[in-house]
Amino acid sequence: MSEMWINMGPQHPMTHGLWNLRVRIDGEVILDVDPEMGYLHRGIEKISEDRHYNEVITLMDRTCYVAGLSWEHLYILASEQALHIQPPERAQYLRVLCEEFQRIASHLMWYAAFVQDIGLMTPFLYGMRDRDLILDLFQSYTGARMTYEYMRVGGVRNDLPPGFTDQARKVLDWLGPRFDEYDRLCLGSDIFHKRCDNLGVLKANDCVRHGVTGPMLRSAGLRRDLRKDRPYAVYDQLDFEVARADTADVTGRYLVRMEEMRQSIRILRQVLDWLDHHPGPVLAHELPRWLGAPYAPVGREGYLLKRHYPKGVGFSSIEEPHGEAQAYVVNEGGEHPYRVKFRSPVFANVSAARQYLIGYRVADIPPIMGSVDVCVGEVDR
């Protein structure tokens, strides 16, 4: 068979989203790849300039549909810095609770999709089943399973419902042994090692050169985690370790994500204990009035526009489930952000595809791209 280009996408089971991976193949060997993004571009950054600070949160849930709360957290941290607002401590703990639960949910979603890519059907359903428990928890305190709109500039929308922490602990007790079961299903299989070892290798210096972050970087042996290196929220008060692997291949990324979920459970137990013993407000008191009032009263169109608020610039970077996400918010004194810019970790991770795909086989594309954990929503924004 001579060389040919094939389009894997935009509608293809490998993509897990809406993007196109153009592959030049000779028989089964990959000669060249060309990832094409942009099929899901919604202009979230531009739309944000036209909305009140709290209204942007709605867009953040749509930015990454498997890690909505993490992106809310990212945006909120930047805009609070830009608006000079300090959230109460309990709200910060609640945000960490959200983010770590979201990390487990996102990694479970990754696990389900990834094992599907190498042909395992059963763990796919196990992963989705266990993710549902976390979505149930989200539903109980944010009211939604996917688009939460829970965080607010200056805190969070509401406190936890009574009995939540016990329920959450039950879920964590259930999840811990499940991760060992997942490991037995995958790592216990010789075929899994045959498929995933030494596959999609991206060494540490290549990762740094291409801006690859998150589990891919940690699987290459670098102990880089913003929760440790540049602690935000209350991560400096929590005890956990950074997951790391040395192999820089698909198996390494698997191990890193599994270990991250275990560490998230460890963090969540500390957070739940803290929340049990420290009641308090969850929204800052000294908020400017327009932050709580998205619509002008009838007949007073100028009411909201005439505020003068100290200008500022906010930058935040968090360890999102997929990698290091960054946000930049410019406050020019109005009630809309003047400019919002996000840095998507997956965009960098996918852009380096040429480094870790060429030379492998067509059948290796799904496991490799699965181990990258592509979320197209945040790539295209």
Q: Which residues bind other proteins (CB under 8 A)?
A: 1, 4, 6, 8, 12-14, 28, 115-122, 125-126, 129, 185-186, 189, 191-192, 194-195, 361-366
Distances 305 to 53, 90, 205, 285, 330 between C-alpha atoms, Å: 13, 32, 49, 22, 17
Residues 6+ apart with CB under 8 A from 220: 202, 203, 204, 207, 246, 248, 252
What is the nearest approach in angstroms of other proteins to the Cβ of residue 350? Answer: 17
Distances 246 to 218, 223, 254 between C-alpha atoms, Å: 8, 10, 12
Please give the single-letter amino acid code of residue 247: T
What is the nearest approach in angstroms of other proteins to the Cβ of residue 364? Answer: 7
User: Closer CB to other proteins, residue 117 or residue 319?
Assistant: 117
Yes or no: say if 313 and 329 are a contact pair by the CB < 8 Å rule: yes
Strands 339-343 and 323-331: antiparallel
Q: Give the tokens for residue 34.
A: 């060309």
What is the nearest approach in angstroms of other proteins to the Cβ of residue 312? Answer: 47
User: Closer CB to other proteins, residue 132 or residue 276?
Assistant: 132
What is the nearest approach in angstroms of other proteins to the Cβ of residue 66? Answer: 19
User: Closer CB to other proteins, residue 41 or residue 129?
Assistant: 129
Residue where the block lists tokens 């259930």: 174
The conformation of residue 66, written as its DSSP 8-state character, comes to T
User: Closer CB to other proteins, residue 118 or residue 376?
Assistant: 118
> Phi and psi at residue 199, in whole multiples of 5°?
-115, 135
C-alpha to C-alpha distance for 190 and 58, rounded to whole angstroms: 44
Yes or no: say if 70 and 27 are a contact pair by the CB < 8 Å rule: no
User: Closer CB to other proteins, residue 24 or residue 341?
Assistant: 24
What is the nearest approach in angstroms of other proteins to the Cβ of residue 114? Answer: 10
User: Closer CB to other proteins, residue 166 or residue 181?
Assistant: 181
What is the nearest approach in angstroms of other proteins to the Cβ of residue 183? Answer: 14
What is the nearest approach in angstroms of other proteins to the Cβ of residue 363? Answer: 5
Q: In what order do the strands lie in the sheet with 323-331?
A: 312-320, 323-331, 339-343
**CB atoms near residue 219 (< 10 Å):** 29
User: Closer CB to other proteins, residue 2 or residue 285?
Assistant: 2
User: Closer CB to other proteins, residue 158 or residue 189?
Assistant: 189
What is the nearest approach in angstroms of other proteins to the Cβ of residue 320? Answer: 25
Termini Cα distance of the chain:
39
Yes or no: say if 78 and 315 are a contact pair by the CB < 8 Å rule: yes
